Structure 1
Amino acid sequence: MATGIELLVAAALCLACPPMNDTLPEGLILLNEDGSAITEMPIDVEVANAGLDADAPVETLETLRNKREKLRNMKEWMNGQHLRIATLEDYPLSYTEILENGTRIGRGVSFQVIDFLQEKFNFTYEVVVPQDNIIGSTMDLDRSLIEMVNNSQVDLAAAFIPLLSEQRTFVFYSSTILDEGEWIMVMRRPRESAGGSGLLAPFEFWVWILIFVSLLAVGPIIYMLIIIRNRLTGDAVQQPYSLGHCAWFVYGALMKQGSTLSPIADSTRLLFATWWIFITILTSFYTANLTAFLTLSKFTLPYNTVNDILTKNKHFVSMRGGGVEYAMRTANESLSMLNRMIQNNYAVFTEASNDTYNLQNYVERNGYVFVRDRPAISIMLYRDYLFRKSVSADDEKIHCPFAMAKEPFLRKKRTFAYPIGSNLSELFDPELLNLVESGIIKHLSARELPSAEICPQDLGSTERQLRNGDLMMTYYIMLTGFATALAVFTTEVLFRYINGRREANKWARHGIGRTPNGQSVKPSRWLRGLRHLQSGGDKQLLGKSTHGENVTPPPPYQSIFNYHAGGEQQQLRYGKRHGLVLGGNGQQGTGVRRLINGRDYIVFRNSNGQSQLVPTRSPSAALFQYTYTE
C-alpha cells in the first residue's frame, strides 16, 4: 500500500502529464451490442466480405461449399456401412485375435484409430488378413496385403505400411503420415565395449598418427639443427650428437626415461627442453583420459549402422515381407546396397511373427542381429527385462543380455492404404491428421512402455572392473616386443655364423691354422664360441700374469730352438707334459714356420687341435717370454 508521501508525489507528477488521447485508430469498425456495424464501410467494401483478399478467385467460396457438401454426403453414405479391413500381424501396431465364436477382431494402435473413426462415422467392419503375412511388392504380390487392396477385396488396409516406391502402382496411400517408422538393430550385448582397446581410447585416430609422426621426425630435426648450429657458429665445445643418439633421446623421453646426453649449447638445451615439455603435457593428458575411460567409459556396440553390417558381413534377420526386405530388394531404395547380402545368405527373413521366438532363436543362440521396428523392439526388450528381473533381481548383466543400437537401420514414413480410386481417404485423412498432430498416435505406440529407457547401451554401473579386453593392447605390445627381439636375435646369430665362416675361409686361404700335411685345424668362430661356453672359457687378457693360476704355459722360448744332443727328447717330453706337440713323428723340426703379416712365427699344434703361435723376432719373443715368466 502506498504511503501519503508517495501519493502526494504521484499527484504532483500527474500535473505535468500530457492529456489522455481518446481518439480511436483510423479505419476501426465499431459494432453495437447486437453485432451490427456503427461505422460506415467504404463504398466498395461490404461488411460480409470484410477481411477477404481482393485478389481471391471468385470460385474459392464455391469450391469450399462444394467440398463441404461432398463431405456431408460422404458422412451420410458412410453411416451404417459395413467395411472390410485388412491388416498384418505386426505387434503392437496391428494384430488380430480370434474369439471363441471364431470371429477375428483387430488389435493394436491401428484398430484403436479405426475404432475412433467408427465412433465418429458410425460404420461397422470385419477384419481379414492375407494368406501370407507380407506387405507385397512387384515381385512378391501373391497372397499379400497389397494384392488384397489392389483387387478391391478390402476397403482399407489398417496397418502401418511403409511408403515404398513399387507399391504406389498398386494402392493409394493415405495423404496423412501416421509416423516415421524406425527399424532398429538388436544384438547380444558384448562383454567389452567395441570402441577399441583401452590403451588407445584416450586419443582419437589422428592424434595417434600425429604422435607417431612427431616421434619419427623430431629426432632427425634435432640432429639437423645441431649440425647446422655447429657449422654456423664453429663451436668446438658442443660435440654434435649422432642421429641414433638423437632418435633414442626422443624415444626415451616418450617412455619417461632419462638420457645420457648433456648438451652445453643453449640452443640445444632449448630443443631438448621443448620436447620434454611436450611429452610431459602429452603423457599427463593420456594418463588422465585413460583413467576416466577405464572407470567410466562409454559403452559402444560392434554394429551401429548399416555400413557396419555391410563391411563386416554380419548375419542379420528381419521379418519376411516387411519394409526392410523390400527396401533391400528394390533398386532405388536406401538399402539396395545390401542386396548382395541376400544372395550370399547373410540376410535371413523369418516368417515367424513371434518376436520373442526370433529373439531367442536367432539373436541369443546364433548371434544374429535382429532388425525390427522401434515399438516392437522396445516392448519385446521390456517384457524380456521383466521376466529376467523376476529370476535375478540384482545383476544388471543378467537383466539385459541384449542391446539396441542407437542409429536406425531404416527410416520410412508409414500410412494406411486404400484401393486406387477410393474416396475414403478424403473422409478419413482429416481425422487422422488431427490424431497425428495432437500426438495421440505417438502416445498410443508407446503407451505400454515406461518413461525410463530399458536396457540402454551403457548400463551405467559405477563399479567397473578392468577386464582382459581392456588390457589386450598391453598383451599385443608385449608379444610384438618379444617377437621383434627374437627376430633381431636370430638375425644376429645368423650374421655371426656367416661372418665366422667367411673369416675362417679367409684365414685358411692364407695358410694359417693348417697342419704340416695341409689340413685346416682352426675351427670357425661359431664353433669356438660354443666350445668356449661348454668349457667355461680358456682365454686370458693380454698382459695378464699367469702366476697363481692353473694355466699351462708354452715351453720356454729358448727351448724351442735348442737342438743340442738330447734336446729333442727333452723338448718332446716337455711338450707332451704341458699338452703341446712340438713337431711330429720324431722329426728334427720343432714346428711349422709361417710368415704372417710380414712376421715369422713358429706354429705349434696343441693336443686339443688348436694352433699356438710363437714369434721368432727378438722384440716379439721378449714380450712373449715376459708374458709367461713375469
Structure 2
Amino acid sequence: MTSGFDLILSAILCFGCNATDPSPQGQTTAVVISVNGTDVAAVSPDLNNNGNFEIYRTKRENMEKMRQYVNGNHFRIATIEDYPLSYTQKKADGTVVGAGVSFELIDFLAEKFNFTYEVVVPQGNIIGSTGDYKNSLVELLYDGKADLAAAFLPLLADVRIKCDYSTTVLDEGEWIMVMQRPKESATGSGLLAPFEFWVWILIFISLLAVGPIIYVLIIIRNKITGDDSQQPYSLGHCAWFVYGALMKQGSTLSPIADSTRLLFATWWIFITILTSFYTANLTAFLTLSKFTLPFNTVNDILAKQKHFVTPRGGGIEYSIKNTNESLSILSNMVLNNRATFTENENDTVTLTTFVEKYGYVFVRDRPAINHLLYLDYRYRKLISADNEKIHCPFAMAKEPFLKKKRAFAYPFQSNLSTLFDPELLNLVESGIIKHLLAKGLPNAEICPQDLGGTERQLQNGDLMMTYYIMIAGFVTSIVVFTTEMLFRFINQRQVGKNNMIIGANELQRSSNFRLHGWAAGRTNHRESLGNRLNEGIILSNVTPPPAYASIFKHNKNAVVDMNKWKQAVSKNKDESKGVRRLINGRDYMVYKNTNGINQLVPVRAPSATLFQYSYTE
C-alpha cells in the first residue's frame, strides 16, 4: 500500500506532463520540447519569442545527458558518524550501509536516477578544515576518493577551498547546550530573588546615605532660618530612624519643622512602595516564577568560563578554531583547557560521563540532542514512573549556541550537483527534510526547562538569606562584645598604672610630711581641706572621713580622728556635731558644710568603704 509520504514525493518530483490536450479558448498553447525523441517539457511561446529558447533547450539536453550518465552508474558516497543525520550500519555479511536522514535522501535519488553507491567513512570521522585536513571527509572529496558527501555539513569558509557545497541548503543547523538540571532557578532564590543585583546595591546605598542627609539638612535649616524650635537630632538617631522605617517600625522622633517632616514623610513613602513591590515579587517568585538555566548563550559560557564538551571535528570545533568564524571568541577557552573535543561517537556515553558526572555543558546539534534526551527519558522512565526529576536530570537551553546553514558537498567541478540539487530543493521546499529531522520524536517538548508537573516547596535555599542575616547578627554582636571587653581591659590597665603613680606620689608626700613635722603638716592639710569644702568642691586628695566605727566607739584615738574631720568640715559653722539618720533603709551621719548643704557619711561597712575610697587617692 502506498504511503502518504510516497505520494507527496511523487507529486513534487514529477516532471511536467505532455501538453497534448487542447488548450481552453483564449489561452496560448505551450510548445512541447523533445530531446532524443522524448517529450521532456512544455515551454510557453513567450520563451521562444524572447530568444531564450535555445538556452533552455541546451540546458535540458545537458540534464538528459547527466541522467544517462548517472543511470546504472556506481558512486562512492562519503559520510561521517553523526546520528541521527548520518551514520553507518554493518550488515550480517559485513557490508557497510548508510543510514539516517542523509541516506534517506540519497536512497530517494538513487531510486529516481537509477544508480548504486557504496559508503566511505573517513578514518578520523571528522569534517575537516585547512588546519585539520588529514583523515577527514574533505580530504576524500579533494583527493577524488568520493563522488559525494552525504552529511549535513556546516558551511565553513575554509572548506570552500577544498570542495564545493550543494547549491541547495538542506537546513539551518542549530547547536544547543545541554547541562545538568540545576536545583534552583538561575534568577536566584529566597529573599534576594525579587530584585536584581543593582537594585539591591542602590537600596543599600540609600540606607547609608539618607540618615546623614537628614541630619545635615536639619542642621543647615536651623542655621539658615535661625529657628531653634527644631532641635537637631543626633546622627545615630537619624540612622536608626532610617533603619526602623525600613523594618516598618515606629519612631520616637517627632519633628516640628515642616521641612523635617517632609524629609521623614518622603522616606516613609519610599519605603512603603519599596516593601510593597518586594512583597509582591517575592510571592510571585515563590509561586509563579519561571525556571531559567545558568547558561543560555555563548556569552554565559565565556563570562563564567564554564567547561563544555562537543564532538571532535564538528562544526563547533572549526567555528572556534578558525579565526574567520563566529565562535572564535572562545579560542582562549581552548587554550585554557575549558573546551573538550571528544572522539567518542556515542552521545549517551558523553552525556553520562561529562555532563552527569563532571557537570560539563554538552554542545550538539538540535536533532541529535532531541533524540538523545528522548532515549534517556525513555530509559529513566523505566526506573521511576512518577518522579519527573528522575526522568529529566538534564535541561536544554533555548537559545542556540551556534547557527549555520548545512548542505551536501561535492568535489570541485562535479556535474552531479546540477542533477541532484534541484531534487533536493524540492524536498526542502515541500518540508519533507524538516519532517525527516523530527521523525521518531514525540510532538511534546522533551524535558522542558520548567517541568511544571510538581508543586514547588520551599527549601533551605529559599531561606538561606535569613540564615545569613542571623549569623551576621550574632557574629557582629560577638565582635562588638569582644571589642568592649578589650577596651575595658585596656582602661583597667591604664587606671592601675595611674593608681600606682598616685600611690608613689602619696608615699613621697607622707615622707616629706614626717620630715617637716606633724604639726606643720597637720595645720597646712587642715587649712587646705577647709578652703576646698568652703567652696563646695570635694577633690581626690582631701582628708578622708573617719572610719565608721569611730562614730559610735568612744575611745581616745577615735575621738581624735573624729574631731579632726569635724573641724575640717565645720569651720565657720556653729554646730559641729552630726546627726545619725536612716535614709532609704541605710544608716548615715548627716553634717552641714559652710554652704548649708547636708553632707551624708555612710555608716555601714560596705558603703563606708566605698565612700572612703572615693575621698582618697
Q: 2:375 matched to 1:383?
A: yes
- Greater fraction helix: 2
Distance 1:174 1:513, change over 3 A: farther
Shift in Å at residue 466 of structure 1? 0.8
Which of 129, 133, 137 is 2:125 aligned to? 133
Return the alpha-carbon distance in structure 2 between the equivalents of residues 453 and 297 of structure 1: 20
Query: Structure 2 vs 1, CA of residues 175 and 241 (structure 1 numbering), >3 Å: closer, same or farther?
Result: same
Q: Where does 1:587-606 land on structure 2 (aligned, <5 Å)?
A: none
**Does the 8 A contact of 2:72 with 2:114 survive in 1?**
yes
1:239 is paired with a residue whose SS is: coil
Asked if 1:225 is matched to 2:234, the reply is no
Deviation string for 1:282-341 (max 9, x for gaps)? 111111110111122222222222233333333222111111222222222222232333
Q: Which amino acid aligns with 1:217?
A: A
Partner of 2:62: 70
| TM-score, with structure 2 as normaliser | 0.75
In the TM superposition, what are the counterparts of 1:157-168 in structure 2 within 5 Å? 157-168=149-160
Q: Which residue of 2 aligns with 1:424?
A: 416
SS in 2 for 1:111: helix
Change (3 A) 1:316 1:76: same
1:147-296 mapped onto 2 (5 Å cutoff):
147-296=139-288
Over 3 Å counting, the alpha-carbon distance change for 1:121 and 1:496 in structure 2 is same
Q: Distance in 2 between matches of 1:558 and 1:625?
A: 16
Letter in 2 for 1:287: T
Q: Contact between 1:557 and 1:625, CA under 8 Å: does it hold in 2?
A: no
Tell me, yes or no, if the aligned pair for 2:187 and 2:292 is still in contact at 8 Å. yes
Tell me the CA shift for residue 52 of structure 1.
8.1
Q: Alpha carbons of 1:467 and 1:516: their partners in 2 closer, same or farther (altered >3 Å)?
A: same
Structure 1's 485 and 461: CA in aligned 2 closer, same or farther, altered over 3 A? Answer: farther
* Structure 1 residue 149, shift from structure 2 partner: 0.9
Q: 1:100 aligns with which of 85, 92, 95?
A: 92
Residue of structure 1 in register with 2:294 after alignment: 302
What SS does structure 2 have at the residue aligned with 1:348? Answer: strand
Of residues 158-167 and 197-206 in structure 1, the stretch that sits farther from structure 2 once superposed is 197-206
CA distance, structure 2, for counterparts of residue 620 and residue 512 of structure 1: 32
Distance 1:462-1:134 versus aligned 2 partners, 3 A rule: same
CA displacement, residues 267-292 of structure 1 (integer Å, 9 cap, x when unaligned): 32232222212211211111111011
Specify whether residues 49 and 470 from structure 1 end up closer, same or farther in structure 2 by C-alpha distance, changes over 3 A only.
closer
Gaps of 5+ in 1: 1-30, 38-47, 520-552, 575-588, 594-615
Q: Which residue of the partner structure matches residue 496 of structure 1?
A: 488
Task: Find the aligned partners of 1:52 and 1:623 in 2 and give their Cα distance.
Answer: 134
Does residue 482 of the first structure (1) align with residue 467 of the second (2)? no
- Report the equivalent of 2:458: 466
CA distance in 1, matches of 2:163, 2:271: 67
* Number of the residue aligned with 1:350: 342
Cα separation, 2, equivalents of 1:571 and 1:117: 136
Shift of 1:106: 1.1
2:118 aligned with 1:143? no
Q: Give the letter for the 1:215 counterpart.
A: L
Q: Deviations along 1:497-522, whole A, 9 cap, x unmatched?
A: 3344344444544x258774899xxx
Contact kept in structure 2, 1:296 and 1:464, CA below 8 Å: no
Q: Which residue of 1 aligns with 2:332?
A: 340
Residue identity matched to 1:348 = T
Q: Which amino acid in the other structure matches residue 117 of structure 1?
A: L
| Equivalent position SS for 1:218 | helix
Q: Deviations over 1:472-492 (max 9, x none)?
A: 222222222333333333333
Secondary structure of the 1:372 match is: strand
**One-letter code aligned to 1:121:** F
512 and 448 in structure 1: CA distance in 2 versus 1, 3 angstrom threshold: same
Q: Distance in 1 between matches of 2:268 and 2:218?
A: 17
What RMSD over aligned residues (CA atoms) do the two structures have, in Å? Answer: 3.5
Structure 2 distance, partners of 1:512, 1:618, is 29
Tell whether the 8 Å contact from 1:88 to 1:95 is kept in structure 2 after alignment.
yes
C-alpha contact (below 8 Å) 1:320/1:350 kept by paired residues: yes
Structure 2 residue aligned with 1:626: 601
2: CA distance, partners of 1:619 / 1:165: 111
Cα distance, 1:87–1:486 mapped onto 2, change above 3 Å: same
Deviation at 1:617, TM superposition (A): 12
**1:433 and 2:425 matched:** yes
- For residues 100 and 379 of structure 2, the distance between their equivalents in structure 1, rounded to whole angstroms, comes to 22
Q: 1:571 to 1:137 in 2, by over 3 A?
A: farther
Aligned match of 2:586 = none
Tell me if structure 2 keeps the 8 A contact 1:197–1:473.
no
In the alignment, structure 1 residue 315 sits paired with structure 2 residue 307: yes
The aligned residue for residue 44 of structure 1 is none
Paired letter, 1:202: P
> How much does 1:150 deviate?
0.9
> Would you say the 8 A contact 2:593–2:599 is kept in 1?
no
Matching of residues 470-619 of structure 1 within 5 Å: 470-509=462-501, 511-512=502-503, 516=507, 555-556=547-548, 567=557
What is the aligned-residue identity percentage? 65
- For 2:580, the equivalent position in structure 1 comes to none
Alpha-carbon distance change, 71 to 337 in structure 1, aligned in 2, over 3 angstroms: same
For residue 371 of structure 1, report the CA deviation from its aligned partner: 1.4
Partner of 2:73: 81
Give 3-state SS (helix, strand or coil) of 2:190's partner.
Answer: coil
Letter matched to residue 344 of structure 2: A
What is the identity, as a one-letter code, of the residue corresponding to 2:199?
V
Asked if the contact 2:320/2:328 (under 8 Å) is kept, the reply is: yes
8 A contact 1:318–1:372 mirrored in 2: yes
The 2-side partners of 1:253 and 1:474 are apart by: 19
Opposite residue 144 of structure 1, the aligned amino acid is S
User: Any gaps of 5 or more consecutive residues in structure 2?
Assistant: 1-22, 30-42, 511-544, 569-590, 609-617
The total of aligned residue pairs comes to 512
Instruction: Give the SS at the match of 2:381.
Output: helix
Retained in 2: the 8 A contact 1:295–1:462? no
Please tell me the residue identity of whatever aligns with 1:359. L
Q: Aligned partners of 1:36 and 1:241: how far apart in 2?
A: 100
